[in-house]
Chains A and B, each alone.
Chain A
Amino acid sequence: MPTEQLSERSEGARRLENVVIRFAGDSGDGMQLTGDRFGAQAAAIGNDVATLPNYPAEIRAPAGTVAGVSSYQLHIADHDIRTPGDQPDVLVAMNPAALKANVAELRPGGVIILDTDSFTVLGLEKAGYDIDPLTDGSLDAFQVHAINLTGFAAAAVADHNLKRKDAARTKNMFALGLVSWMFSQQIEDTIAYLQKRFASKPDVQAANVSALRAGWIYGEASEAFANVYEVKPAPLPAGTYRHMKGNKAVAYGLVAAAHQAAMPLFLGAYPITPASEILHELAALASNDVRSFQAEDEIAAIGAAIGGSYAGMLGVTVTSGPGMALKAEALGLAVIMELPLVIVNVQRGGPSTGLPTKTEQSDLLQALYGRHGEAPMPVIAVRSAADGFDAAMEAARIALAYRTPVILLSDAYIANGSEPWRVPEVEELPFIGIDLATEPNAVDADGNPIFLPYARDPVTLARPLAIPGTPGLTHRIGGLEKADLTGAVSYDPDNHDLMIRTRQAKIDNIDVPPLEVDDPSGPPGSGADVLVIGWGSTWGPIGEACRQVRAEGMKVAQAHLRHIVPLPANLASVLSEYHTVLVPEMNLGQLAGHLRRETLIDTVGYNQTRGMPFRTAELASVITRVIQGIDEDASGATGTKPVGDVGARLAAISEAGAAKPAARAGTATASQHDVTREAGR
C-alpha cells in the first residue's frame, strides 16, 4: 500500500488534549517494543509523552497466565505532562490474561481492543476465567472491539514465507498499525525502524512492515471505529528533541561528561536489572572513546572503575541495590583515597532480590550511610527520564572537582520510562575538566621539591591528582589512614581526627544550587501553607498532583531535591516557612528522616512500596486532605504517621490471623487481590 494513501485521512478527527493507552499481552508478545514505537511516533509529531513499561521479572513466565502479562502504558498530550497517567483510556489486550490483569484499571467508558484469536477455552482457562468475559456482560461499561488480530496479521503476511508461528508473532505490529490509525499517527518512522532492526532477516522485516500497514488499513477500511482521535503537538520550547529513555539518558550524560572533561570514560559493570541497559548503551559507544568492562562480579566492577580513575580515566560503575551492597567496602576505599568516581544505583524493589523489575526509592539510606567508618559521599538523584543526562553530568562534575566518589540514584521507573528530551548543543555544556598534577607542589626541609598528594585546594579541599606515568610524582595510596599532606601511613590519633573532619568538610562544602520552590501563589512565607517536597522519580507525580490541586482552587507549593548530600544551604529556612511539609516517597520515610536529622523539622510522610510510581489522583487526594486538615484544625492531619491505607491492610491481616479457621482462605484472597493489582499496573 503506497504511503500517500496511508497519510491521507486526518480531517474530522476528534481532538483530545491527552490520552492514556496501555498495550498488554504475554511476555513474548512484543508489548514493550509496541509501546516504545507508539511513544516514538507520538514524540515525532510533537506530543509530550510519558511512559511506564511494566513486565515480570521472569524472561518467560508461563504463557497465557496473569503472571506472564507484560504491559506498556503511554500518556500522550498536547501540553506539558510529567506522568504516564493513572487510568488508561484505551486498553489493547492481546490475550485473556492481559484483559483480566488490566481491565479493572481502565476508565469506565474506555476502549478495549482485544485479540479474539486467544479467547479460546484454553486461553480463558489459563487466565483464570470461568466464563468468557466477552459473553457475560462484564465488559458492558466499555467500548469493546473484539478483533482477530492474530488472524488478520497472519493473513497479511501470508506471502512472506514465514512459519505459522512467526507469522502469528506479527500481531503486535498489526495492533500497533491499528492504534496508530486510531490516533492519527504516521507509521513511517516505525517502518524505517523495522527495516533497520530486521535488516539481516528480510522475510521477518517485510512481514512486520506488512502487518503494521495492514493494521493501519484495517482501521480505515473496517469502519468499526466510530471515532478517530488526534492529539495535537505540545508547545515545547524551540530546539531539537529526542524520545529518551532514562537509562540511555544517564549513559549519554556520562559520555558527555567525559567529553567535557577531556578524559576517556571507563565503565566497570556487572549485569543487574534494571541497570544493565546502561552497560549495554556504553558498551556500544567505543567509537566515542568509551571503554567498558564487564567484570566477574559487582566488587570487581567497582574495583576496575577505581583502578581506571587512578589511571586517569573518568571511572564509572552502574548497578542496582544488591550490587550496591556488595560495593560498599570499595566505596569506602574510594572515599579515603579521594579519587573521582561515579556510582549509578538504578533502584529496584528490595530488600534482597526483592522486585527486580519494579521501582522503589528504598536505597536512599544505603546511599547516605551504607559504609563503615565516617565515609561521606555526595548523593544526587535523577528526577525523570530526560533528566538522567543532566544529573549524570552533575555527578561527574562533582566527582572530578572534589576528587570524590559520587552516588547517582535513579530507579526502575526512570530507567525504563521515556519522554521527550531537548538535545543540548555541545557548546552549551559546561567544561568540567580538571588539571592533573604534573609538578612537585612543595619543598622538604632541605629545600628539595616534593609532591604532597594530600595537600589540598584551599577552596574545594580537593587533593591533587597525579596519575601513573607522571615523572617525579610517584606515591602510594590505599585504605590505611593517611598522614595529612604526605599521604604516608599514619596511626596518629590527632591526624586521624583531622583527616576524618577534613573529608567531611570537603563534602559538606560542595557547591550546590539553592532549593527552588514552585508556587504560583507566592514565595515561601507568603504563598501556600503546604509544601510538598520530593526526591528522584516522584518529581513527576508530585508536580502533576500539585497542578491538579491548584486547578481546584487550592494553594500548594512544590520543591524537589536533586542534591541530597550535601543538601542545599537554604533548605531549613525554606521548609520552616511552611505550616506543613509533605514528603511522598516510595519507601517508609527515608528522606523524611534525613530531613528531620538535618533540619530538625518534622514532616508528614506519605509512603508506599508497591513497586509502582505514585498516581496523580492518589497524591492529589493526599495533598488535598493535608491542606483541608490545616483549614479545619490548626494542628491538622500532621504528625509523622503515614496517611496511606497500610494501617487498614495490616489490620485486615491481623484479623485474618485472629480468626484461625478462616485465616488461610482470608489471607489467600487478600494476596491474590494484591497480585492482580500489581500485575495490572
Chain B
Amino acid sequence: MSTINGKAEEPVGGASGRRAPTVADFTTGQEVRWCPGCGDHAILSTMRGLLPALGVAPENTVVVSGIGCSSRLPYYLDTYGIHSIHGRAPSFATGISINRPDLSVWVVTGDGDALAIGGNHLIHALRRNVNLKILLLNNHIYGLTKGQASPTSKVGTIGPSSPFGSLDNPFNPIALALGAGATFVARTIDSDRRHLTATLTAAAAHKGAALVEIRQGCPTFSAIPRQPSRAAGETSPAEPDDPSAPEHGPIRLSPGLPIVFGAKEQWGVVRDPSTGELGIGHGGDSRVVVHDPGTQNSTYAYGLARLAETSLAEPPIGVYRSVSQPSFDQLYQERLATARPDGRGDLRSLLTGSDSWVVAG
C-alpha cells in the first residue's frame, strides 16, 4: 500500500496474515514543521515508536487534534486523523470513539487548546470517561500565535499581550482533570523518552479517558527551563540541601514504592496523620507515602498534584490516578445492543405507528 504522500510500503496492520507494523508504517512524508529544539519532535518520535509496539494497525488508529503547535501532530502520523478546530478535538473524537469501539482514538492538544478555548470539552470527555487517550502538550505559552500567556503560564509571565506580567492564576492540569473525575491522570516530560514511553503505554492500556500532561518548554517563547533529563538516582555534582531546589528534578511516582527523592533519597512525601495532608519530610520518616494510583478516592492524587505549588520546584511526574470504571463507549454500545436484541427495528412499523388509519382508494 501507499499513502497520499507517495510513500510505497508493504501492506501492514491488524488483518490476519499481515506483518507487524513498524515505525515506518506510522510515518508520513509530510515535512515536520516545528521549531528546532521543540519537544514536539521527541513526542512525535515517541508516538511513532509506541504505536507499532501497541499492536494496533495504522488504519485502526485515529488521531484528532485542535489548533496550536501541538495540534499539527496528526499530519505526521500515518493513521486516520482530523486536524480540527480550536479546542474542540475531544468532541470530534467522542463522536468517533463511541460509534467505533474497534478504533484506538487519540487526542493531541495543548495548554491553550485544551484548557482555554476547549476547557468545556476536556472536562466533559473526562467526566464521561470516553475511551480517548488525551495528550496535553503543556508548554505554558501560546506558541503558534507568538508567545502570549496561556492558562498554565505562571503569574507574572511577560508576553506581547501581558507586557507588564500576567495577572491570572494558572490551571494545574492534573488537579483539573481529577476534579472532572478523570479515571487516568498522568504527567510526564518531553525530555525523558523512557518515562514518556512508559506513561503513554500505561495510558494506552487504560479503558476509558486517559489524560497525560506532557510538560515541555518552548524554545522560542517560553521562559520555563527545560527539564533535567536524568534518570532516577543520578545526581548533579552539587546538590543543595533543600527539597525545593530545582536541581533535584521532578519527583518520579512509581506504584507500590515510597515517594522519596534526592540523590540519597533523603527527601520524601509524607502524610500528616492528623489532617491527612501531604507535605515534604525526610526520606526515612515512617510517614512517607507509598504511591498508589489505584486509590478510588481522588483526594490523595489531588494532594500530590497540588504539592508542587507550595513545596517543590517542579511537580511530580508519573501516573497520579488509574482506576477502573466502565467507559462511556462501553455503556453506549451496551445500551444500543440492549435496545435492538434482534438487529435493527423494522422501519415500516415505526413509520406506521399504532395510531394510523387507512383511506380506501
Question: Cβ of B357 < 8 Å from any Cβ of A?
Answer: yes
Rounded to whole Å, the gap between the CB of A560 and the closest CB of chain B is 25
Given contacts A304-B94, A311-B100, A337-B82, contact A243 B355 (CB under 8 A): yes
Question: Cβ of B238 < 8 Å from any Cβ of A?
Answer: no
Using Cβ atoms and an 8 Å threshold, which residues of chain B touch A242? 351-353, 355-357
Task: Tell me the A460-503 residues at the B interface (CB within 8 Å).
Answer: 468-480, 486-489
By the criterion CB–CB under 8 Å, are A286 and B5 in contact? Answer: no
A-B pairs, 10 with minimum CB distance: A307-B95, A478-B83, A303-B91, A238-B361, A286-B339, A304-B95, A472-B1, A300-B91, A307-B92, A296-B124
Using Cβ atoms and an 8 Å threshold, which residues of chain A touch B3? 450-451, 474-475
By the criterion CB–CB under 8 Å, are B95 and A311 in contact? Answer: yes
In addition to A295-B94, A306-B92, A452-B4, 11 A-B residue pairs with Cβ atoms within 8 Å of each other are: A238-B360, A242-B357, A285-B345, A288-B347, A289-B336, A291-B332, A296-B120, A303-B95, A451-B3, A469-B102, A487-B4
CA distance A426 to B349 in the complex (A): 10
By the criterion CB–CB under 8 Å, are A252 and B350 in contact? Answer: yes
* Interface residue stretch chosen among A40-48, A379-387, A516-524, A526-534: A40-48
CA distance A372 to B161 in the complex (A): 25
Give B contacts to A, CB under 8 Å: 1-6, 8, 11, 13, 15, 28, 30, 57-62, 64-65, 67, 74-75, 78-85, 88, 90-100, 102-103, 120-121, 124, 332, 335-336, 339-340, 344-345, 347-348, 350-353, 355-361
Question: Cβ of A444 < 8 Å from any Cβ of B?
Answer: yes
By the criterion CB–CB under 8 Å, are A305 and B95 in contact? Answer: yes
By the criterion CB–CB under 8 Å, are A476 and B74 in contact? Answer: yes
Rounded to whole Å, the gap between the CB of B350 and the closest CB of chain A is 6
Using Cβ atoms and an 8 Å threshold, which residues of chain B touch A511? none
By the criterion CB–CB under 8 Å, are B340 and A423 in contact? Answer: no
Which of B64, B75, B95, B121 has most A Cβ within 10 Å? B95
CA distance A492 to B136 in the complex (A): 31
CA distance A46 to B242 in the complex (A): 89
A to B CB contacts below 8 Å, 9 in the list: A237-B361, A308-B95, A426-B347, A450-B3, A469-B59, A471-B11, A474-B58, A476-B28, A486-B5
Question: Cβ of A266 < 8 Å from any Cβ of B?
Answer: yes
By the criterion CB–CB under 8 Å, are B103 and A476 in contact? Answer: no
By the criterion CB–CB under 8 Å, are A476 and B80 in contact? Answer: yes
Question: Cβ of A449 < 8 Å from any Cβ of B?
Answer: yes
Rounded to whole Å, the gap between the CB of A469 and the closest CB of chain B is 6
CA distance A243 to B352 in the complex (A): 10
Using Cβ atoms and an 8 Å threshold, which residues of chain B touch A477? 81-83
By the criterion CB–CB under 8 Å, are B1 and A471 in contact? Answer: yes
Using Cβ atoms and an 8 Å threshold, which residues of chain A touch B28? 476
CA distance A268 to B83 in the complex (A): 20
CA distance A241 to B355 in the complex (A): 9
- Among residues of A, the one whose C-beta sits closest to the C-beta of B121 is A300
Query: In the complex, which of the residues B5, B61, B90 contacts A488, with contact meaning CB atoms closer than 8 Å?
Result: B5
By the criterion CB–CB under 8 Å, are B351 and A478 in contact? Answer: no
By the criterion CB–CB under 8 Å, are A451 and B359 in contact? Answer: no
Query: In the complex, which of the residues A240, A287, A445 contacts B345, with contact meaning CB atoms closer than 8 Å?
Result: A287
Q: Count residues on chain A whose CB falls below 8 Å from chain B CBs.
A: 82
CA distance A302 to B95 in the complex (A): 9
- Among residues of B, the one whose C-beta sits closest to the C-beta of A299 is B88
Which of B1, B62, B91, B359 has most A Cβ within 10 Å? B91
Query: In the complex, which of the residues B8, B11, B80, B359 contacts A468, with contact meaning CB atoms closer than 8 Å?
Result: B80
Given contacts A252-B350, A286-B335, A475-B80, contact A330 B358 (CB under 8 A): no
Given contacts A255-B350, A312-B100, contact A440 B1 (CB under 8 A): yes
Using Cβ atoms and an 8 Å threshold, which residues of chain A touch B30? 488-489
By the criterion CB–CB under 8 Å, are A449 and B357 in contact? Answer: no
Question: Cβ of A417 < 8 Å from any Cβ of B?
Answer: no
CA distance A255 to B344 in the complex (A): 11
CA distance A252 to B28 in the complex (A): 43
By the criterion CB–CB under 8 Å, are A240 and B92 in contact? Answer: no
By the criterion CB–CB under 8 Å, are B82 and A310 in contact? Answer: yes
- Among residues of B, the one whose C-beta sits closest to the C-beta of A301 is B91
Rounded to whole Å, the gap between the CB of A494 and the closest CB of chain B is 20
Question: Cβ of A508 < 8 Å from any Cβ of B?
Answer: no
By the criterion CB–CB under 8 Å, are B59 and A423 in contact? Answer: no
Rounded to whole Å, the gap between the CB of B117 and the closest CB of chain A is 10
Rounded to whole Å, the gap between the CB of A185 and the closest CB of chain B is 14
By the criterion CB–CB under 8 Å, are A450 and B6 in contact? Answer: yes
- Among residues of B, the one whose C-beta sits closest to the C-beta of A242 is B356
Question: Cβ of A435 < 8 Å from any Cβ of B?
Answer: no
CA distance A236 to B361 in the complex (A): 9
Question: Cβ of A202 < 8 Å from any Cβ of B?
Answer: no
Query: In the complex, which of the residues B75, B100, B103, B345 contacts A489, with contact meaning CB atoms closer than 8 Å?
Result: B75
Using Cβ atoms and an 8 Å threshold, which residues of chain B touch A672? none
- Among residues of B, the one whose C-beta sits closest to the C-beta of A445 is B6
Contact with B along A426-440 (1 / 0, CB 8 A): 100000000000001
By the criterion CB–CB under 8 Å, are B74 and A478 in contact? Answer: yes
Question: Cβ of A313 < 8 Å from any Cβ of B?
Answer: yes
By the criterion CB–CB under 8 Å, are A293 and B98 in contact? Answer: yes
